[in-house]
Amino acid sequence: MIQAKYTVVRGDYARAGEASADIKRTLKQLGVDSSTLRRIAVASYESELNMVIHSLGGTLTLVIDNDRVKLTSNDLGPGIFDVNEAMQEGYSTADDIARNYGFGAGMGLPNMRRNADKFAIYSMVPDGTTIEMEFNIG
């Protein structure tokens, strides 16, 4: 079993995506096929960017257990008031800074759900948001 934990900093656009890039490299070294790798990388990157853009900061955790990859994002708040609304394609509260970086289409959460084999989101205001995703790599 391989495990890695990355700290994700609020508003740090310059480094946003580095955790996901590292996760992708790790999985590539393990021989994960390119289309599965792409699904995991996209979902990971979207969750990492959401923590940079919308949260106070948090962590991204990777667990590789035999033929299963688990990715968990866990942030420090402020949480999502209405998760169903946030899951809708096109729903976004991203600010101008995020939009200037190319984010705020309201596609991140739907992208995660579509790419992951298992997807769960838990959120509490003001405690924070946790997203658990699983991918079969077997």
Ligand X SMILES: Nc1ncnc2c1ncn2[C@@H]1O[C@H](COP(=O)(O)OP(=O)(O)OP(=O)(O)O)[C@@H](O)[C@H]1O
What CA–CA distance (Å, rounded) separates 100 from 135? 31
The smaller minimum CB distance to ligand X, of residues 93 and 136, is found at 93
The smaller minimum CB distance to other proteins, of residues 46 and 75, is found at 46
Based on the shown chain and the rule CB under 5 A, indicate whether residue 50 belongs to the binding site for Mg ion: yes
Instruction: With CB under 8 A as the rule, give the number of residues binding other proteins.
Output: 29
Identify what 34 binds: Mg ion, other proteins, ligand X, none; CB under 5 to 8 Å per kind.
other proteins
Identify what 57 binds: other proteins, ligand X, Mg ion, none; CB under 5 to 8 Å per kind.
none
Query: 17: which DSSP letter?
Result: T
Based on the shown chain and the rule CB under 8 A, indicate whether residue 53 belongs to the binding site for other proteins: no
The smaller minimum CB distance to other proteins, of residues 20 and 123, is found at 20
Q: Which of 32, 42, 60, 133 binds other proteins (CB under 8 A)?
A: 42
